[in-house]
Every structure is written in structure tokens, then in C-alpha cells.
Amino acid sequence: MVNPKDDTGRAEMTGAEMVAQALKDNGVEHIFGYPGGAVLPIYDELFQQEDIEHILVRHEQGAGHAAEGYARSTGKAGVMLVTSGPGATNAVTPLQDALMDSIPLVCITGQVPTTLIGSDAFQECDTVGITRPCTKHNWLVKDVNELAGIIHEAFHVATTGRPGPVVVDIPKDIQFAKGIYTPPQQAPRTSYRPRLQGDLEAIKAAVHLLSEAKKPIIYSGGGVVNSGPEASHLLRELVDLSGFPVTSTLMGLGAYPASGERWLGMLGMHGTFEANMAMHDCDVMLCIGARFDDRITGRLDAFSPNSKKIHIDIDPSSINKNVRADIPILGDVGRVLEDVVRLWRATVTPDRAALGPWWEQIERWRARDSLAYKPNDDVIMPQYAVQRLYELTKDRDTFITTEVGQHQMWAAQHYGFEQPNRWMTSGGLGTMGYGLPAALGVQIAHRDSLVIDIAGDASVLMTIQEMSTAVQYQAPIKIFILNNQYMGMVRQWQQLLHGNRLSHSYTEALPDFVKLAEAYGGHGIRCEKPGELDDKIEEMIAVKKPVIFDCRVANLANCFPMIPSGKAHNEMLLPDEATDEAVANAIDAKGRELV
Amino acid sequence: MNAQLKPTGSAYFIARETETHETRTLSVLVDNEPGVLARVIGLFSGRGYNIDSLTVSETEHERHLSRITIVTRGTPHVLEQIKHQLERIVPVHKVVDLTVVARERGQDRPLERELALVKVAGVGDHRVEALRLADAFRAQVIDANTEHFIFEITGRVSKIEQFIAIMQPLGLVEVCRTGVAALNRGAQGMQ
């Protein structure tokens, strides 16, 4: 900065300089973006500084998912920078994805000059209008003197409370205009004050209810991960103190270690039998930072019918939205858990024996071995591929991302997560194409770690162009494709719902993924036999550049266990019962209408 | 406006609706900034909530605060969601369910008033009758010539509805209504 600052940090500079300065002042080290006419002044500014590294993606959607992966793996805000018009509209998918999964994402968009707004100018779109429903908040900057304050506020809103995406739309003339830069302050707007501390009376009542439970369960979610490492630590402490069984949503995997003795596995539509049965039969449910999503509850009017429910969440609108909470506790998961653990230690004398019959029941459910599959010596079973990947990478510093579909569920079922922030997946929105750019974002944040995108052959093609970005920035991400030539989950639903008529769920002309990797300047590996799997996975890990691993798996394998739509937790379809006939009749006419 | 047939939530739920619908009047205090009304309206349309009436104006100029009054309908469960969803909007300071507050104070409902301008062009007996009825409803004549009247009427929604219905056969031409403005009775404000 050429302009002298006064002692409050205020200085005169252009709007573009303010953007760079505000990013630095908010601790940003990396941004993901794509230039265009309406952001050229900001790009010019980025060119003239060295504090922030810009990662040039190949499509704005890739920038968004990369920033999400960056955010999810670091706990910091992810930042993306795109131009007006198509740049902004391409950002909509990652914005909605971040909104549904509560990921802090700051998106800066260029806009046509203020004098042209509303004239249908070249590359003009109503960015704040389009992104209003898919952001936590957004701003159109009309005065350069407000720009710095708005960017600081954007970071504050994105990262506090229930995290989420924000958009700051900056017209080009504002980027050129000179004004006064103001540094970040601790005086955010008065209308936005997330409540962090839980109500102590409610927490006392919750601890009392938990202490008397005969069949308790802890159901934790992405909120535990979002709250920070301390929250995961406290969750583990609570489980150790109480001896309660614990299950988690897709988004919450890793908060409690998969190797932990109280772990029941994931719950929900493709969760384990023991987790879902325990949810159904429990007498007290402690929901921590989860939102009773439809993929979790199954049929709502048959959801855990005999339990008292305690719900801890930072977002008041999540409480009582789908499931009525008997004891709602509004606050940050970490802060509330701190109180819960403290009160538990002070007031509860644990009676482990009282939980004996409950654990015996759980062990009987566990003995059903609901994740079992038929091993095969000739064809790679997708579950086996994930298991081998897990065994060969679990002792390394590994991060896993996924696309969306069967492979995602197999990854969630068969890859064991020991730590939070190690698992990046598109849960709420279910965005195919999320995993490859998310892996890129993770790798940028963790240069020396092993970052693997467990992918499907259909999903990965949606954002395959980001291979080029990975090669450019020497980000050695590993794209592990469970290739069955189908949109497997679509096909599975067609088998369940539509008389096995496989309408457009088979990809007849897939690329040669090995050649594709080489074309991008990466490394390609193909594996077709179970016997070669371990060696080839080792090869993938050893190669120090982006790898596409084309793992040819059993084409018609389906993902079980499953709660068919319209059914309850205790009506799961287990793998050994999933005959063709059972699959065809699993869902009745009413369930067929559901998503 | 948006017919709400099912409670919100995923289509995955086979939800049985057992709760009955009720009408509530909400007062929403917001920062008067661009887009804030769009955020509120977008929330209602996006989540399938109803708006029966909506009134908005800046009410505190120094603090740039606007007050939005929304009359909405839904089951108690949906109404609770509406309040919490509104509270999530960053520029929203406070949401008060005036109907609930009135009930807590032992009153039937909050004070609610609406203003309407009603243009009537009748001839002969109809013209005389319109004027006589307007007087009975305490409507003011704010514009007239030999062919028409424009009445200004203020009152509860039911009174306005009744007045308009009565004017229908007497040569009603057009109506403009402000929507409901509402406050709770008593000395305390909403803050």
C-alpha cells in the first residue's frame, strides 16, 4: 500500500486495493477464482501482491467447491472470486451446497458498473437477487467507503453462528473508485447476534434426563465438526463418561472415532442396522448439532416413537422443524457440551450396569452385520475397494472427499474416520461433481497430506476439468473412481421404484480414464482384479502428482442396508434380504412419490 | 398467496396434518436497507408459507429501522418455524407475534387497522345510497364529481371487507387497500 495509514488503520485506497487489504486483514492466504471483465481491477491488485495465493480454477463451480473443501478441512472461511454474469451464476451451486452443509464460504463477485446496473449490460445479472435464497446474507456495494466494512462483516457472518455462504457483489466502478479503508472492528451490526451459551436450566434438565436413561443414544451431526476440535473432544469425553452408544450423520463422521468402542456407525437411509434400530428403540435421544434431515429420520411419524429428545443446535429454526424436541438447547455445540460434561461430572454417579441390557440388545443388532457383502475373487466389489483403500491409507495423514451417489455411501460406511475435518462430502444438496474440486481445495490447504476423492464415474465427469488446475498447482490429489459405468444410485432407485427400467442411467461412452489422466498431465491407473488392488493403491499413493485411479467394480452392486422411502428405521432392507423380488417390492405406491 | 397444503419439510415425509390452521399477525423490525423486503418475501414464497397481508414502512428514521407487519396463516408448528426463519435473516432485529402477545395479556387479538380507498360510480338512488352507507361506516369522501365518489375508510379488516361488499351493487369501480397495520394494546412497545 502506497498510502500512509493513520493510527486507526484507516487509509485512502481504491476499491480493488481494499479487497486485497480486507482479505489479508481477515487472515486469508488462499483464494479460488476465475477472472473476467468485471473483476479485472481486483485481479490487477492480486498480481501486485504476494500475501494471498490465487488458485486459478477451470470453472467457477470448481472454485466454490474447492473453497468449501478448504474451509471444511481447515475450519477457516473459504474464499472464491468470480466475475459478473456467468461467473456469478456458476457459483450458485456451491453457494447452495455451502448453505445446506453450513460451510463458511465468502464469494466475491464482480458486477457491471453502477451506472449500467439494470440496463441488461454485457455479463450483467442480478447477482444479489439470484443468490439471496442460497446465501446466509449478501451485499451489493454501492459506495466505496462502505466496501471494507462490508467485507469484514461478510467474514463475520460467514464464520459465526451457524456458518454459511455469503456474497459481496462489487461493481467495477467501485473497484476503481478511491475511498477510505477501515480495518476490521469488533462492532458488528446489532441485529446479528448468534447465541452461543446454552440455557443452564435446560442443560441441567437434559443431564438429569440422560442420567436416568435406560436406553440412551447420542446422535451427533456436522454441527460438532463446525463448532471446532474442542467440541469433538468434548463429545468423546461425554461418551466415555456416560458409556452411551453414539451414532452420527453423514456430515458428522469423524467427530467420534470409528474405532471407538461406543461407535454404532452412521445412521439414516444407508446407515447401519444397529444405529437405526437403536434410534428407533431408544428412550432418550441426545441430538447434537444435527437437524433431523429426511435422510436421517425415515418415515417421520414412525421416527423414534418412544423417546424423549434433547436437541442442541445453534440455529433456532432447526429446533422443532421436523421433530419436536422435549428439551431444546439453543447454543454453540462446544459451549453447551462443556456445560453438559461439567454437570455430568459434578452430579451424576454413572451406573454402567443399568446400560447392560441396552448394550446387549445393540450387540444383537450389530451381529446382523448389516454392512456385509458377498466377496468375489474375480470382480472387485466396491465395498472391498473402499476397505482396501482404508487399510492402506489409515496410518497416513489422509483426507477423504467424495462425489455423490453409491460410492459416497460406501465410503461413509466402509472408511473409518478417526478425526473431524478429515471428511468432505456434499450432504444436504447432494452435488455430483463436488469431490474433485473439494479435494483440490483440501490439498491447497494441506500440501503434504494425502487427499483422496472417492468418486463415481458419472459424478467425476461433472467437474473433471479441475484436473487441469490440480496439475497446474502441483496438487497431487488422488481421484479414486469406483467405475461401474452406471449412475449407480439412480439405477438402484429405478430398480426399487420403476420396475428395473434403467432409463438413461447407463453411460455408454465413458472416456478412457487412464488416457484422460495422462492428457491432463496427471497419472492414470486402471485396476480390474481384486488381486491387483493393493499394489495399485500403493502405486497411487507413491505417485507425486494428480492421479486418476480407474477402479473397475462390479457393475450391478447396490448399496445396502437401506431404509426404503416411506419406511421407518425398523423397516430396513438388509443386504442378505435384498433379493430382486424384495427390492422390487420394497417401496409402496405412496413411498414412490417421495424423493 | 401461496396455498400451503402440506406442512413444510421434505416430500420424503408422509406427514399427516392434524393441527388446525390459525391466523397470526407478526411485527418484524428490520434494518431499512436494499433487499430486506425481498428477503422476507422470498422466505415466505421459498418455504411455502402464506402471506394474507403485508405492510411496510420506515418507522424510525434516525436508526433506519422499518417495521413490516405480516398477517399469515398456518398450523402452530409452521407459525413457530416462520418466526424462527424470520429471525435468521441478518438485518432482522426482532420478530413479535402480536396475536400471541395479545392472548398472553388476556385479549382476543392485537389492534389491527387497515385503510382503503374505494371508488364508486353510481347513478340515481345508488348514488344516494352509497353516500348514506359511507356515512354509516364513517367513511370520508375525499374526491367526488357528479359521476363518482372516492371514499376513504379505516378500520378492522372485517369492516373494510363489509364496506366493499356493500358498495359492489352500488357501482364499485376499484379499491386500493394498505394492508394491515397493527400494534399491541398497552404501554409497552415491541422492543
Do residue B11 and residue A137 have CB atoms under 8 angstroms apart?
no
Enumerate the domain spans of chain B: 22-104, 111-183
Give me the mean pLDDT over the B40-50 stretch: 95
Determine the distance from the C-alpha atom of residue A467 to the mean position of all C-alpha atoms in its chain, rounded to a whole number: 21
Question: Does the pLDDT at position B3 exceed 90?
Answer: no
The answer to whether residue A123 is catalytic is yes
Residue of A nearest to B93 (CA): A191
The CATH architecture of the domain made up of B111-183 is 2-Layer Sandwich (3.30)
DSSP state letter for A553: B
User: Scanning the structure block, which residue is given the C-alpha cell 363518482?
Assistant: B148
With cell 468423546, the residue in question is A236
| Calpha distance A260→A245 (Å, rounded) | 10
**pLDDT over 70 (residue A5):** no
Radius of gyration of chain B (CA): 20
Whether pLDDT at A358 is above 80 = yes
Contact A550, A483 (CB under 8 A): yes
Query: Measured between alpha carbons, how far is A222 from A203 in angstroms, rounded to an integer?
Result: 20
The helix/strand/coil state of B60 is strand
The CATH homologous superfamily for domain B22-104 is ACT domain (3.30.70.260)
CB atoms within 10 A of CB A564: 23
Given this model, what pLDDT does residue A4 score? 60
For residues B42 and A133, the answer to whether their CB atoms sit within 8 Å is yes
Active site residue A567: no
Architecture of domain A11-181: 3-Layer(aba) Sandwich (3.40)
Q: What is the DSSP string of B77-129?
A: HHHHHHHHHHHHSTTEEEEEEHHHHHHHTT-SS-EEEEEEEEEE---THHHHH
Tens digits of residue pLDDT in A488-532:
999 999 998 899 999 999 999 999 999 999 999 999 999 999 999
H helices within A14-59, ranges in order? Answer: 15-25, 40-47
- Catalytic residue, from A172, A478, A536, A567: name it: A172
Q: What is the pLDDT, as a whole number, of residue A3?
A: 55
**Omega within 30 of 0 (cis) for the link into A86:** no
Residues 186-215 of A with CB under 8 A from B: 189-192
Name which of A224-233, A245-254, A493-502, B177-186 the model is least confident about: A493-502
A314 touches chain B (CB under 8 A): no
Q: How many CB atoms lie within 10 A of CB A259?
A: 10
pLDDT of residue A2: 45
| Radius of gyration for the alpha carbons in chain A, expressed in angstroms and rounded | 25
Mean pLDDT for chain B overall: 91
**A 317-336 residues inside an 8 A Cβ radius of B:** 317, 319-322
CB contact under 8 A, B85 and A317: yes
Answer yes or no: same fold for B22-104 and B111-183: yes
CB atoms within 10 A of CB B17: 12
Q: How many CA atoms lie within 13 A of B145 on its CB side?
A: 1
Q: Is B9 exposed, middle or buried (0-12, 13-18, 19+ CB in 10 A)?
A: buried
How many pairs of residues across A and B have Cβ atoms under 8 Å apart?
77
Span of A554-568, B41-55, B143-157 with lowest mean pLDDT: A554-568
Grid coordinates standing for A70?
A: 478448504
* pLDDT reported for residue B11: 38
Average pLDDT, stretch A403-418?
A: 98
- Specify the fold of A200-366: Rossmann fold (3.40.50)
Buried b (16+ CB within 10 A) or exposed e, A443-466: bbbbeebbbbbbbbbbbbbbbbbb
- Residues of each domain in chain A carrying CATH 3.40.50.970: 11-181, 382-552
| Chain A residues with CB-CB distance to B11 below 8 A | 593-595
The verdict on whether A172 is a catalytic residue reads yes
Mean pLDDT of A547-572: 93
* Degrees, nearest 5: CA angle A445-A446-A452: 110
Catalytic, A122? Answer: yes
**Pairing outcome for strands A137-140 and A105-111:** unpaired
Give yes or no for a contact between A362 and A215, defined as CB atoms under 8 angstroms apart: no
- Answer yes or no: is the ipTM higher than 0.85: yes
pLDDT for res A188: 66
Output the nine-digit C-alpha cell for A2: 502506497
**Which residue, among A389, A410, A106, A428, has the nearest Cα to A251 in the 3D structure?**
A428
Indicate where chain A has its CATH 3.40.50.1220 domain(s): 200-366
Average pLDDT for chain A: 95
Grid cell for residue A276: 437405526
CATH of A382-552, one of 3.40.50.450, 3.40.50.970, 3.40.630.30, 3.40.718.10: 3.40.50.970
Taking CB atoms and an 8 Å limit, are B84 and A140 in contact across chains? no
Which strands, in side-by-side order, build the sheet including B53-60? B53-60, B65-74, B22-31, B92-97
Residue B171 Cα, gap to closest chain A Cα (Å): 42
Give residue-wise pLDDT tens across range A46-55: 999 999 999 9
Q: Give the pLDDT confidence score for residue B12 in this predicted structure.
A: 42
Distances (CA, A) of B140 to A473, B123, B131, B153, B178: 75, 19, 9, 6, 16
pTM reported for the whole predicted model: 0.94
| Cβ pair A157:B90 closer than 8 A | yes
